[in-house]
Amino acid sequence: MEWLDNFWATYSTLLLSVGTNVLLALSIYLTLACGLLTVANAAFMAIGAYTAALLTLQTGTPFLLALILGALLPALVAMLIGRPTLRLSGVYLAMATLAFGEVVRILILNAEDLTGGALGLNGIAQLTTGFDVAFALIGALYVLLRFAGSRIGRAMAAIRQDEIATELMGLNVRAYKLFAFVLGAALAGLAGALNAHFTFFISPNEYGFERAVEILAMGVLGGTGSPWGAVLGGVVITLLPELLRGFGHYRPLINGVVLIVIIIYSPQGIWDLTRFIRRRHSGKPAVN
281 binds another protein (CB under 8 A): no
Enumerate residues 165-184 that contact another protein by CB under 8 A: 165-173
To 5 degrees, how large is the angle CA 43–CA 241–CA 32?
40
**Pairwise CA distance, residues 47 & 204, whole Å:** 10
Whole-angstrom distance, CA of residue 181 vs CA of residue 76 = 11
CA 270 from chain centre, in angstroms, equals: 17
Task: Indicate which single residue of 106, 119, 134, 243 sits in contact with another protein (rule: CB under 8 A).
Answer: 106
Which segment (23-31, 54-62, 81-89, 196-204) binds another protein by CB under 8 A? 81-89
Decide: 54 and 114 in contact? Cβ < 8 Å.
yes
CA distance 267 to 126: 39
Give whichever of 11 and 250 is closer to another protein, judged by the CB atom: 250
Of residues 202-221, those binding another protein (CB under 8 A): 209-210, 213, 216-217, 220-221
258 binds another protein (CB under 8 A): yes
101's enclosing H/E stretch is: helix 90-110
**CA neighbor of 263 nearest in space, from 234, 231, 223, 225:** 223
Q: Measured from the CB of residue 164, what is the shortest distance to another protein in angstroms?
A: 7
Nearest approach, Cβ of residue 170 and another protein (Å): 4
In sequence order, the β-bridge partners of residue 15 are none
CA–CA separation, 197 vs 165, rounded Å?
Answer: 45
CB of 126 to another protein, least distance (A): 30
Q: List contacts with another protein (CB under 8 A).
A: 37, 84-85, 87-88, 91-92, 94-96, 98-100, 102-103, 106-107, 109-110, 143, 146-147, 150-152, 154-155, 157-158, 161-162, 164-173, 209-210, 213, 216-217, 220-221, 249-253, 255-260, 263-264, 267-268, 287-288
